[in-house]
Amino acid sequence: MDRRTWLVGPLGLLAAPLVAVAQPPVKVFRIGILTATRPEASHLWAAFFQGLRELGYVEGQNVIIESRYFGDRIEQLPALAAELVRLQVDVIVTGAAPEPEAAKRATSTIPIVTAAHLDPVGSGLVASLARPGGNVTGLSQATPELRGKQLELLKEAVPRLSSVAVLSNPTLPSLALELKELEVAARALKVRLYVVEARVPSELKDAFSVATKERAGALIVLANAVFIRSRVQIVELAAKNRLPLMSQAREYAEAGGLMAYGANLSGLMRRAATFVDKILKGAKPADLPVEQPTKFEFVINLKTAKALGLTIPQTLLQRADQVIQ
């Protein structure tokens, strides 16, 4: 039966069937991305975008992505952060340091989600993990025991290891805690640490020269956006200088580094989408606890071990989540 409603007045039939009530326009959110890498060419940002899609966000329909990346020109970072603020995005998403720090300096009101910071408390991004208290929240990629475990695994893999170089970026205060944790572990394992520094990719070659001059037996890479973007160059320099390399991200081992032990970065990026979703639905960053990883993955590149003349103990291989042949 036809159940359409007709408008009838004193003069009889006056109108055609009523049209269905118009739906309210779909709210379109603007998400700002501040990063060292071009998002559309990054598998890590692909994981974030996948997380958004799973939560119902479709670019061009209910969300607009405003991406700003600085590449090797880190001096552009403050201007790019300010540009996102001028665009009045609803939320800014970043990866590791120095990206969230730049975003926070640019705004104290726009919510910021960091997907993979090392020390959000020590760097001043948040008041505490449980109660961030400001406009920043998200995920940390480290826990206090992580660096000690990395050094322990490295010593198991490299016989008679006594000296380890640590590749750090002196412009990032968030790495200070990492170095302290490594120093504590090094004393317990009777390993000497030597810090080598690079602020930008062009300084990496000199950093490796210092490491070999100091007779380092291996190298640990501290996590930050500049280094992860330059991981292929870092791995190639490690191979050229015959330095077994330990990193926090599996991407280094996949590129040819010896080992990686840390949280899965793609998983963290995907999880960051849930923080964005909560914020776009009205949650305040100050009330969203920063999450720490509960599971770490251990990756060994056996091909690299053979090239370095290392025989990885079977007990170590059995503990690995992945062995790259």
pLDDT reported for residue 179 = 87
pLDDT reported for residue 189 = 93
The pair of three-digit structure tokens given for residue 8, joined into one six-digit string:
């009838």
For 198-237, give the secondary structure using H, E and C: CCCHHHHHHHHHHHHHCCCCEEEECCCHHHHHCHHHHHHH
79-114 pLDDT tens trace: 999 999 999 999 999 998 899 999 999 999 999 999
Q: What is the DSSP string of 294-311?
A: S--EEEEEHHHHHHTT--
Structural domains of the chain, with CATH: 29-141+265-287 (3.40.50.2300), 146-262+296-324 (3.40.50.2300)
Q: Specify whether the CB–CB gap between 105 and 81 falls below 8 A.
A: yes
pLDDT reported for residue 1 = 34
Q: Which of 239, 175, 199 is nearest to 75 (CA)?
A: 199
pLDDT reported for residue 24 = 65
pLDDT reported for residue 22 = 57
pLDDT reported for residue 64 = 97
pLDDT reported for residue 6 = 33
pLDDT reported for residue 175 = 83
Where do the DSSP E strands lie in the chain? 8-9, 12-13, 29-35, 63-69, 91-94, 112-117, 136-140, 163-168, 192-197, 218-221, 245-247, 259-262, 297-301, 322-324
**The residue to which tokens 């007990």 are assigned:** 315
| Binned average pLDDT, 10 residues per bin, the chain of 325 residues | 35 46 77 94 95 96 96 93 98 94 97 94 94 97 84 93 95 82 92 95 96 96 90 97 96 98 95 98 98 94 97 96 96
Please give the Cα distance from 3 to 247 (Å, whole number): 68
pLDDT reported for residue 13 = 39
Please give the Cα distance from 273 to 275 (Å, whole number): 5
What angle in degrees, to the nearest 10, is found between the helix axes of 204-213 and 231-240? 30
